[in-house]
Chain A
Amino acid sequence: MADSDFVVQTEKLCKTFRVGFWGKKVTAVDLLSLEVRRGEVFGFLGPNGAGKTTTLKMLMGLIYPTSGTASIFGHQIGSPDAKGKLGFLPESPYFYDYLTGGEFLRFYGHLFNLWGAALEKRVDELLDTVGMTHAKDLQLRKFSKGMLQRVGIAQALINDPELVVLDEPMSGLDPIGRKEVRDLILRLRESGKTVMFSSHILHDAELLCDRVAMIMKGKLVACGHVSELIAGGTTNEVEMVIDRLLPEALEQISSLASKVVLQGERVMVVLTSQQDVDLALDVIRSAKAKLVALTPHKASLEDLFIREAKGAPPAVEARVA
């Protein structure tokens, strides 16, 4: 794969903060190497405090790496060339609250030397894109959190960037708002843009991302296609709920199950293979018990997330060349 296919590339990126009176070292990002490819939606996942925001701020040139390097479109991060074709939405954005929606976007347009009719057209387009046309003449101080998030996204798109970097774009939005942002991200991808966003909401990432990276305590723990990462985890788990199960039948089933929960008349068991499921069904049928529910456990990013957080099995390596 040619180098130019990498929109973002980081190489052993590290950031340590010094906190407190004694200047105690806190490692927020630890030897992070990853790349984002042209045209993909890239999810940057991790629990609170994992180092997502810190990484994105380094990419934007807001803070400097302690060590390691990174580039955007092959240009060193922080350089004007790296920032020219980029749009960025910071985490929980706060903007100049004395400006109206329109003034706000016009100001950012000026920073890209957009003026006059062309700018006015762009501002109207963007307000429409994020569903904020009604707020063009409303001061930002009167905006709700979700509305701020929306103009924040509009601001990130003002220069029609090739790479859009969003730090928690869905936070603070209602279900409709989240759906709209998801649709917007997909539309951006359709028009050939690269989108990188951070989130700890795995469902959104599963729906949207081509590839994801997961970090914990500043370290990369998994990176690859969503489907591959999920396949790396446990699948085929099935949960059964059974009523009126006689003790001896229960004993037979318990020997197959990985987990048994008794609730009075009712039994809940978890089975891990198709073969065990078939056997259990035979037992249930011959014992004339009643099968109340049978739910396959679909492996999800969430399982991976929780597994990684517990640190049990070794990290999934699904990196593809």
Chain B
Amino acid sequence: MKVLSIALNTFRENLRDKLLYNLLIFALLMIGSSILISKLTLGDFDRLMIDIGLASINFFGVLIAIFIGIGLVSKEIDKKTIYTIVSKPVARYQFLLGKYLGLTMTLFVNTTVMVIGLVLVLSARNIPVDMLLFKAVALIFVEFMVITAVAMLFSTFTSTTLSAIFTLAVFVIGHLTPDLKTFGEKMDEVGRMMMDGLYYVLPNLERFNLKGQVIHHLEIANADLALIILYGLTYTAFVLFTAGVIFQRRDFR
């Protein structure tokens, strides 16, 4: 119950954040502009529109997750609003969890709005929308959850600027993890161990990317889908747990 009230309060706080609306408007503009691009190109424009649409949802969602995520906790400490909450019988991990769930709610609403935008654009061009598109969006959302948790983890022990840089790095490298292994094989012993370490520690974000499948109408088995979601949630839980351990030991000053 305490976690839920903190989450709802965070959700309300997010909804009054101008950054959120700016990013949302950009995302919708991108999705909408794919109509124009598709008119300029010959041939296979429905692929292009789906590609641009999903990529916009992914990109702007991640930006929201990072830039609101890094401020979730650090802003409360800077402005000392956390003092009145942690001095009540609220455990620190409950506070962290509440903030996390609040932003997850915000992201859910945002994703929904962006998907509605995409579906409207697609149907305006008479492009069929199938179930696979929604599966792809579901996985993109799981990626948001992972990224939000990572942003939160960094913000429990570094400044907001560093948190933003680190989280962006995790996002970029996380999409290249298979390459890390191949890259490491070409290096010496130490380099290989480091690349292997990164490969196992960083989230394998390419797993959440179904854009190729959607464009080429390649069905994905439900069992595989469930497994990927399970992977994402487990990774998130692990990151949040680590954040909780660090947060528990912190001085608020």
Contacts and interface: CB of A to CB of B under 8 A. Distances in A.
Interface in B75-131: 79-91
A90 B80 contact: yes
Interface string A217-233: 00000000000000000
Contacts of A17: 253
B13 interface: yes
Contacts of B82: 62
B89 A64 contact: no
B89 A57 contact: no
B217 interface: no
Using C-beta atoms within 8 Å of the partner chain, give the interface range for chain B: 20 to 34
Contact of B253 (A63, A84, A94): A63
Interface in A106-133: 107-108, 110-113
B89 A95 contact: no
A107 B9 contact: yes
Nearest to B249: A64
A152 B80 CA distance: 12
Interface in A79-93: 80, 83-84, 86, 88, 90, 93
Contacts of B2: 110-111, 113
B9 A61 contact: no
Interface string B62-84: 00000000000000000111111
B48 to A, nearest CB: 40
Contacts of A21: none
Contacts of A80: 89, 91
Contact of A94 (B13, B81, B85, B251): B81
B218 interface: no
A284 interface: no
Contact of B80 (A61, A84, A93): A93
A90 B89 contact: no
Contact of A84 (B16, B85, B89): B89
B161 interface: no
Contact of B86 (A60, A64, A98, A159): A60
Nearest to B1: A113
Nearest to A115: B1
A112 B5 contact: no
Interface residues of A, number: 29
B134 interface: no
B88 A64 contact: no
A61 B87 contact: yes
B8 to A, nearest CB: 8
Nearest to B88: A111
Given A90-B80, A94-B79, A111-B2, A60 B87 contact: yes
Nearest to B82: A62
A152 B16 CA distance: 22
A110 B88 CA distance: 11
B12 A83 contact: no
Nearest to B77: A62
Contacts of B91: 80
A63 B92 CA distance: 12
B252 interface: yes
Nearest to B79: A94
A31 B86 CA distance: 25
B88 A62 contact: no
A96 B86 contact: no
Contacts of A99: 9, 12
A9 interface: no
A99 B9 CA distance: 9
A108 B88 contact: yes
Contact of B87 (A83, A112, A113): A83
Given A93-B84, A96-B9, 7 more contacts: A62-B82, A62-B252, A63-B251, A94-B80, A98-B16, A99-B12, A112-B89
8 contacts: A60-B86, A83-B88, A83-B89, A98-B16, A111-B6, A111-B85, A111-B89, A156-B84
